[in-house]
Amino acid sequence: RLAGVSEPLSVGRFGLAKGKRVDYVTQAQSIGAFIGLREDYDRLTRAFALIELVDALVPMGQPLPETWGLLLDLLRHVETHPHPTAALVWAELKLLEVFGYLPQFGACAVCGAGAREAETTLSPEAGGVVCQAHAPTCGDRFRVTEETAIGLARTSALDQPPPQLKLADEALFALLPFWRHVAHAPLRANESLVGELRRSRPSPAG
């Protein structure tokens, strides 16, 4: 009787009975399902990546209805947005903001200085962009294009996903080290997605 409501990307209401060691499902009611995610591989992989991040952030066994509602809303955007990677980047930034981990992309996270260079240095430990003076002190630093950093800063300020995001893949690549820093858990779906996107990119001419 749980076959339908317990499928991946199905939404249900469950009744639980407390046991001495484990809880038991006593009833289940289907509320809906994200059919658009199931039927589109690109959307499906991005949805699984998003769910994995929420799972890594939320303590097990704690009821957080606001987070649950947020996840459903973010999944709907991934399901319906014309560009699911852009929707995922926005959703990840929204999660980082809600949980208090949003990086500083507009200025140095250490001293507040502006960072306008062809390439921008990011550091998860420092909390975002780091200027030339502070970059050498950050062992986890990595570089992205200035355009990628600007895109992340602008997207993080939006209440809805942008209609399009020029460097969506690069933005997603840049966010993964920050998730590794805060999640403290394996992120296999996200690592797999980023790896797949990197492999699908054309090789540099040369």
pLDDT band at 19 (very low <50, low <70, confident <90, very high): confident
Q: Kindly provide the residue ranges of all beta strands, DSSP E only, lying in 109-205, ordered along the sequence.
A: 119-123, 128-130, 142-145
Q: What torsion do the CA atoms of 57, 59, 65, 67 make, to the nearest 10 degrees?
A: 0
Taking 60 as the threshold, does the pLDDT of residue 182 lie above it? yes
CA distance 39 to 34: 9
pLDDT, one tens digit per residue, over 69-125 is 999 999 999 999 999 999 999 999 999 999 999 999 999 999 998 766 768 999 999
- The DSSP 8-state label assigned to residue 157 in this structure reads T
pLDDT band at 25 (very low <50, low <70, confident <90, very high): confident
Residue 112, CB-side half-sphere exposure with 13 Å CA sphere: 0
3-state SS class at 139: coil
CA distance 106 to 85: 22
Residue 129, sorted as left (phi over 0), alpha (psi -120 to 50) or beta, turns out to be beta
The residue to which tokens 């690549």 are assigned:
173
Crossing angle for the helix pair 41-57 and 188-199, nearest 10 degrees? 140
Domains of the chain as residue ranges with CATH: 1-33 (no CATH), 36-199 (1.20.1440.120)
pLDDT, one tens digit per residue, over 171-180 is 999 999 999 9
Per-residue CA distances from 40 to 47, 108, 158, 185, 196 (Å) = 10, 39, 26, 27, 16
